[in-house]
């Protein structure tokens, strides 16, 4: 194994990849694909990107898992290089340590990403220690953990939004949404909750799946109660 002193300085391509990854993860809460990196950095070949990702792993800037979708993670060393500064009250905590310290968020049940499934209308109101899961701070998008909850997905109607059955979706608790936002919606008349894109069409609400063969759900505004807006998606390791 090569010593640290023998690791070469980062190339221009490698710095561009790291910078894009830091910006992308801060914006989206999960790592980019190799194709995303190609487009953003102007590198035409996925093999060239893959080569440079392996060099970044060797330089201790990335951790990489071949068993996970989007299995890339910035290391403390990379976060420090990128200047991702998150400070604690004493002003001394580095970005690396703060970004890698999990927050506790309640996992409160299932949500339908196909046909709606039943779920209590007081979602998130009651939970105990056994319901809490660890979520990395960047996935909370700067929201306080007390304003966040998680649900496990049942169904595949949001598959084109890269959300599939078994994924964990992290939400910000809120009762309103803008057109095009992905939300958890309590359908009072049905007594069910679903995960869909939200569109207010005046006399009705359209809840749009992200699946080529599935039709939208239409409900009256009085029967549509938003529970939360999607912040990020966690794909459990297989």
- Out of 13, 55, 114, 157, which one is annotated catalytic? 157
Q: Could you tell me if 76 and 97 are in contact, meaning their C-beta atoms sit under 8 angstroms apart?
A: yes
- Out of 45, 196, 232, 237, which one is annotated catalytic? 196
Active site residue 196: yes
Q: Which residues are catalytic?
A: 157, 196
């Amino acid at each position: 194994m090569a010593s640290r002193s023998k690791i070469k300085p980062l190339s221009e391509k490698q710095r561009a990849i790291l910078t894009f990854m830091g910006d992308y993860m801060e914006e989206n809460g999960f790592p980019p694909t190799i194709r995303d990196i190609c487009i953003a950095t102007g590198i035409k070949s996925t093999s060239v990107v893959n080569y440079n990702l392996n060099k970044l792993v060797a330089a201790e800037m990335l951790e990489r898992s071949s068993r996970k979708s989007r299995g890339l993670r910035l290391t403390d060393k990379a976060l420090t290089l990128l200047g991702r500064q998150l400070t604690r009250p004493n002003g001394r905590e580095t970005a690396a340590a703060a970004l890698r310290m999990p927050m506790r968020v309640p996992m409160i049940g299932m949500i339908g990403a196909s046909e709606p499934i039943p779920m209590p209308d007081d979602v998130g109101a009651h939970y105990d220690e056994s319901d809490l899961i660890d979520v990395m701070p960047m996935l909370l998008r700067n929201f306080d953990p007390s304003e966040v909850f998680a649900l496990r997905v049942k169904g595949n109607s949001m598959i084109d939004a890269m959300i599939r059955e078994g994924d964990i979706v992290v939400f910000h608790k809120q009762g309103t949404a803008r057109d095009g936002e992905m939300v958890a919606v309590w359908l009072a008349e049905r007594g069910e909750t679903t995960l869909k894109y939200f569109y207010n069409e005046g006399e009705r609400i359209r809840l749009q799946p992200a699946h080529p063969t599935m039709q939208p759900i239409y409900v009256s505004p009085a029967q549509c109660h938003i529970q939360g807006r999607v912040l990020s998606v966690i794909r459990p390791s297989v």
